Structure 1
Amino acid sequence: MLNHFLRTLIDWVFRRRSAGLTLIRMGAALLSAAAVSLTVGLTIPTKDGPFVFSWDTSGGPAVISYGIFAVAVAMIVGGALLVIRDVRRENREKIVVIEARGLRDWQGDPLEKAVPISMRGRRDALIIDVRQGLVDGQIVSPERALQKLAGVPDDISRRTNGVDRADVSFALGGLAPVPLLFLLGVIVDDEHRTLFMDWDRKAHIWRPLDEADDGRRFDVTGLGAIAGSTTRVALCVSASYDVLDADVRLVEPTAPIIRMDLQDRSTASHWSDAKQQQLAQQFLDTVMALSRQGVTEIALFLAAPASLSLRLGTVYDKRNLPGVTVNQFEQADARKFPWAVRMPVAGLATPELVQR
């Protein structure tokens, strides 16, 4: 706690903008101006009598100089008190930084270090490592991965217990299979302030979603072709790579296919937080439209960057939306989607693994 307090104080002094720091800077400038116009007197007793030293550079009444000096000191003291108050407030706030590691067997920089200092609060890192030894980039045992995720709700509760709800926020990021990222989003939910971050594969750094919104959205097709008796559909969301109908038909041979295709999609078309919010709203609106048409089960085929996969999970309402199963794509597998995770929504208490 002491180390974090000192680090936070250093951040405030050198990198933050605040009313307290502004007062300190103004007071220091005023103090410097007053110092050159002060009248200073010094009397030193000696055996030959008092030695008097007098210095006056003001050319004006001393009371004005001392008044300016008093105001400057008051501003510095007041500013320091405001900074201390802000630092204490920040130490009361908490950021739960959740990082999922599941695609590469490497020790990169942790997400915790990349969270911007503009996000106030003590960092509390929670790393969910579902990597499986020598098989780099592949989940050979989805059961073990689900077991690790099963304890996340309790872990989050322990970290936020005793902290005011208004003082808790989350930072989310990860490199893991899409079903696990979506599940993590469902677990975290959208009831707290959440910062989504993603791994920049070119720069090899964690980045916030800080680019401008390019205005491109999903083109939604297939909603009008659903028969009145349909209860299960395949929802294909192509936000980075293409989800091919032919691959979907290997595991969903009869379900109607609903497509959400991002305009001019690529693996780098997701770096805007404002854009992702709108895409998430489109996704939510589409799922709600399916629910109104009587659909009770959605097979979700999602090709999206990690941050968007997490975000879509957070906006999925656990009580009022249809059940959803998120499929894992494996290019080298003849089945293309060898396993999936049924999400803990629509009355399902815990996630379930579906293997083919």
Structure 2
Amino acid sequence: MKKAISYFIKKAADWLFRRRSPALIVFRAGAALLTVTLFGSWAVSFSYSDAARTLMFGYQSSNTSQLILNIGFVAGILLTFLGAAWEYQRYRDEKKLNDKKKTIIIEQRGLVDTSDYPLSEFIKNSCAWKVESIVQDIRERVIENVISRPDLALAKVDNMKISLAEKIAQSAASDISIAYGGVFPVPFAFYTGYLLDDESKIRLYDWDRDIGGWRVLDEVDDGEEFTVEQPSASGKSVVLAVSVSYSVDRPSIATVFAGLPVYYLSLPTLDRNNHWSREKQNRLSGEFLEYCKKLLGLGVEHIHLVLASQNSVAFRFGQSYDKRNLPSVSVYQYERHQTVRYPWCVQIPHEDGKNVEVVQTQFKHVA
């Protein structure tokens, strides 16, 4: 019972004071006018007495024009009822629209346990329509922060496209919105974005390790651009190493990819919190795309991508990668405590008849 009363009071306060709409402005103006006219027509008196003295204070609003009070009172009633009726109609229309709308949330769990703070619950707090989730959890394949069976994890990512298509088919495309967030290995986050490049606009979220919760990309663009280091010679197969949150492991790249030309893209400031701007991510993904096009123009047929970035950046870069025109790409996993620090990749071929697969590193390496 107490919970029901508390809920009613909370909703009433939200409706009366927090919600914003033209109808509620009219309602509140009418309520305020009604209150003022009622108080203006009341007589006010106060008295105090004890054994020694008596104090009395009185006020009667006899000087206030009764006609003005009557007009104000009637206007207050009319505005209050007009605002309430208008808001009710607006609420009904909004509810009809929200009943058709649906947000499909794709949440990928791998490197950090976010199950106590699911992305769906975070998003539900900011929307009034239906929310459905597709949760991909590969934590059973992660032992001591190392992915033991990346091939099985890849199979889960591949199934995501089918699950999403089934949920989208239940509603009109105009009523569907998609949200994505995760804490996933970089190759799989990139590949997820690659799979969803042709979907409608996707709203990105990322896990803030400092607060232990989800955040939307809502900061301003700081204008940082990639600095470029390129080798003197190129080839048909090259390494593209991109540093966003951390610096890539250059000594390991030199040994694992021995003999291959290496191109470096690096942000001037490497920080795990330098990615909270949607505009910045869009711009950097555009720079990444243009540089891949430049490599294509140099005759490159395959890119070995080493990417040190946050989850949402890896996803956004995958979205931007043109699967029809750019070279085929292999995206590498980094394991700092293993002998081969880039032990496997998700290989994404562009040739007909070839499937995306996890490939163990075959390059010559130094232990």
| TM-score category, normalised to shorter length | 0.7 to 0.9
Matches of residues 48-197 of structure 1 in structure 2 within 5 Å?
59-60=66-67, 65-66=73-74, 69-104=77-112, 107-115=115-123, 117-118=125-126, 121-132=129-140, 135-189=143-197, 191-197=199-205
Over the matched positions of the two proteins, sequence identity in percent amounts to 32
- Residue of structure 1 in register with 2:319 after alignment: 314
1:281 aligns with 2:286: yes
1:228-272: CA deviation from partner (whole Å, max 9, x where unpaired)? xx3221110011121133312333223221111011112222222
- Matching residue's letter, 1:17: R
- How many residue pairs match? The answer is 329
- Residue of structure 1 in register with 2:46 after alignment: none
CA contact (8 A) 2:186 2:314 kept: yes
CA contact (8 A) 1:234 1:300 kept: yes
- Distance change (3 Å), C-alpha of 1:117 and 1:87: farther
1:296 aligns with 2:296: no
Mapped partners of 2:36, 2:205: distance in 1: 46
1:261 aligns with 2:276: no
1:242 aligns with 2:247: yes
TM-score (norm 2): 0.79
Q: What are the ranges of 5 or more consecutive residues in structure 2 without an aligned counterpart?
A: 1-6, 42-63, 362-367
Mapped partners of 2:353, 2:228: distance in 1: 28
- Distance change (3 Å), C-alpha of 1:35 and 1:346: farther
- Residue of structure 2 in register with 1:25 after alignment: 28
CA contact (8 A) 2:103 2:130 kept: yes
CA-atom RMSD in angstroms: 3.1
Mapped partners of 1:70, 1:308: distance in 2: 54
CA contact (8 A) 1:101 1:174 kept: yes
TM-score (norm 1): 0.81
- Matching residue's letter, 2:272: T
- Distance change (3 Å), C-alpha of 1:307 and 1:176: same
- Residue of structure 1 in register with 2:211 after alignment: 203
- Matching residue's letter, 1:216: E
- Distance change (3 Å), C-alpha of 1:119 and 1:318: farther
- Distance change (3 Å), C-alpha of 1:214 and 1:127: same
**Does the residue aligned with 1:234 lie in a helix, a strand or coil?**
strand
1:88-124: CA deviation from partner (whole Å, max 9, x where unpaired)? 3223222111111111457431111222755564221
- Matching residue's letter, 1:88: K
User: How far 1:349 moved relative to its partner?
Assistant: 6.5
- Matching residue's letter, 1:313: G
Instruction: Choose 1 or 2 for highest CA Rg.
Output: 2
- Residue of structure 2 in register with 1:327 after alignment: 332
CA contact (8 A) 2:141 2:148 kept: no
Mapped partners of 2:218, 2:39: distance in 1: 47
**Does the residue aligned with 1:151 lie in a helix, a strand or coil?**
helix
